[in-house]
Amino acid sequence: MRNLETARTATRRAVELAMKAGATAADAALVSSSSSSVEVRMGALEDVQRSEGEKLGLRLFLGQKVASVSSSDLSEDGLAGLATRAHAMAKAASEDEYAGLAPEDLLMRGEAPDLDLYEEGEPDPEALKERALECEAAALAVDKVANSSGASASASSSLFALATSHGVDAAFRSSGHGCSVAVIAEGEGGQERDYDYHSARYLADLEDARAIGTRAGERAAARLAPQKFEGGRMAVLFDPRVATTLLSHLAGALSGSSVARRSSFLQDRMGEQVFAKGVTITDDPLRTRGLRSHGFDGEGLPVRQMNIIEDGVLKSWFAASAPARQLGIAPTGHAIRGPGGAPGAGPSNFWIEAGTRSREELLAAHPRCFLVTELIGQGVNGVTGDYSRGAAGFYVEYGEIVAPASGATIASNLKDMFATLEPGSDLVLKKGVDAPTLLVPEMTVAVG
């Protein structure tokens, strides 16, 4: 994989050649990555993989006309050909009144902050194998766990470089380590499957493989012998590992492009009470060793920690430059860029702040509730906010788990869910999107 300087040289050169070809403005983004993974199943090696790749994307502007091209050929001839093709495509394109680079006066100046995202070196495949085996063995050691769908361990590294014709020249590297397992428990009521995983920038920050495996096994065993319960209107608790999906739905509704197209259920709610008072949702791209951290956004703008929701009030969209122009606002510093096409926008390290009541207190807050630990299907309408998804978890009465439950459907509207949800006190920041247990006081629960 390239080093930072050669990556920056490639993106600078691509922009220079685009301007030489006749562009009025241009930017280039390079993504380079490598990864290794080992998979095992029932104590035996299943697969060993290694991949490497790099691609550079060039956006070329002719006034308000724009074209995007990408290539893995980063030789001088390859970059020159890329610029020539982009110029020809831009000449044939229609004008877009919102097209353009980020405003020059808002660009990051100087070097991006060092967020300690990259660990030198790469684990030996044998070490990856041992981690995967250790994780699976711990899961299989849990009572009633009888089979494995497989365990894996991985290591990766990536590089992102960005250059623009109006002064951006930046790059950063990042690394990653991961471990996961899925197992099957067996009992009189049949079989149940569950999983667990963890990812971290540094190997030292990765959770112990045995702990990951044990938790996966306990989750699978706890789901055995599911029982039916009476559905209807009731409280629903979202376990932290599924509560994050509500934040993902929120992020989609706050996308500047969706708002500009008037296809978001929150499009007219800026500055209004969207969540209950006391609810704060934070985005922080500057977290040290964060899984979604970066020192600058995909257009070269500086980034900062900010409250997207503050005391329940909506404070910001996620808007790259083009949708921001359409909305009549400044870009928000949330642009996300790959090697091809125009930047999108979205959150970085994104979480809902912890509330005051514990998970146990939330479980006991209503006579009966459904604790959801798994969601199935995609039944969410981003335009209306209508929400309907398959779910599995546990039926709870007066704070006590009665039995595992599966085959249910939970339904409501995200506007109502956001307005009434209460976060628990059990927030742990360990992923890119995090949430504590979330209580929605009333949803429709149908049991098949």
The pLDDT tens digits for 263-303 are 999 999 999 999 999 999 999 999 999 999 999 999 999 99
Tell me the two tokens of residue 406. Answer: 């599966």
Q: What is the mean pLDDT of each run of 10 residues along the chain (448 residues)?
A: 92 98 98 97 97 97 98 97 98 97 96 96 93 98 98 98 97 98 93 97 98 98 95 97 98 97 97 98 98 98 98 98 97 95 96 98 97 95 98 97 96 98 97 97 95
Distance CA 113, CA 120 (A): 18
For residue 447, give the nearest of 223, 222, 233 by alpha carbon: 233
Same domain, 207 and 352: no
3-state secondary structure of 296: strand
Domain end position, chosen among 201, 220, 239 = 220
The reported pLDDT for the residue numbered 378 is: 87
Domain range for 79 is 4-220
Which residue has tokens 């630990």? 373
Pair 280, 179 in one domain: no
Rounded Cα distance between 100 and 62, Å, is: 10
As to burial, measured by CB atoms within 10 angstroms (0-12 exposed, 13-18 middle, 19+ buried), residue 123 is: middle
CA distance 215 to 196: 7
Distance CA 432, CA 88 (A): 40
Angle at alpha carbon of residue 259, lines to 253 and 263, rounded to 5°? 75
Whole-number Å distance between alpha carbons of 9 and 54 = 14
Among the candidates 194, 220, 246, a domain finishes at: 220
Tell me if residue 433 falls in helix, strand or coil: strand
Residues 138 and 16 in one domain: yes
What is the structure's pLDDT at 221? Answer: 97
Report in angstroms the alpha-carbon separations of 367 from 276, 395, 399. Answer: 22, 11, 8
Say yes or no: 230 and 199 in one domain. no
**Is the domain of 248 the same as that of 379?**
yes
Classify strands 422-423 and 65-71 as parallel, antiparallel or unpaired. unpaired
- Kindly state the tokens that stand for 63: 């006034």
Q: Which single residue is written with the structure tokens 């509560």?
A: 243
CATH code for the domain in which residue 19 is found: 3.30.2290.10
Q: What distance in Å separates the CA atoms of residue 61 and residue 428, rounded to the nearest whole number? A: 44
pTM for the complete prediction?
0.95
pLDDT of res. 54 = 96
234 and 214: one domain? no
297/400 same-domain check: yes
Residue 85: Cβ within 10 Å count:
16
**Among 67, 70, 69, 68, which residue's Cα sits nearest to residue 90?**
67
Total domains present in the chain: 2
User: Which of 197, 220, 243 is at the close of a domain?
Assistant: 220
Beta-ladder partners of 155: 36, 177
Q: Are residues 437 and 336 in the same domain?
A: yes
Task: Of 418, 399, 415, 413, give the one whose Cα is nearest residue 444.
Answer: 413
DSSP per residue, 96-163: -TT--PPPGGGS--SPPP-------S---HHHHHHHHHHHHHHHHTSTTEEEEEEEEEEEEEEEEEEE
Tell whether 114 and 245 lie within a shared domain. Answer: no
pLDDT tens digits, residue range 319-338?
999 999 999 999 999 999 99
- 103 and 35, same structural domain? yes
- Alpha-carbon span 344 to 342, nearest angstrom: 7
Are 28 and 8 in contact by the 8 Å Cβ rule? The answer is: no
Of 158, 146, 136, 183, nearest to 38 (Cα)? Answer: 136
As given in the structure block, the two tokens for residue 240 are: 């932290």
Output the pLDDT for position 31.
Answer: 97
**Spatial CA neighbour of 57 closest among 287, 288, 343:** 343
Retrieve residue 202's tokens: 């540094």
Output the six-digit token pair for 139.
């899961």
276 and 213 inside one domain: no
Residues 197, 198, 204, 210: is their CA dihedral positive or negative? negative
CA pair distance 91, 288, nearest whole angstrom: 43
pLDDT at 188: 82
**How far from the centroid of its chain's Cα atoms is residue 275's Cα?**
21
- Same domain? 205 vs 309: no
The pLDDT of residue 189: 75
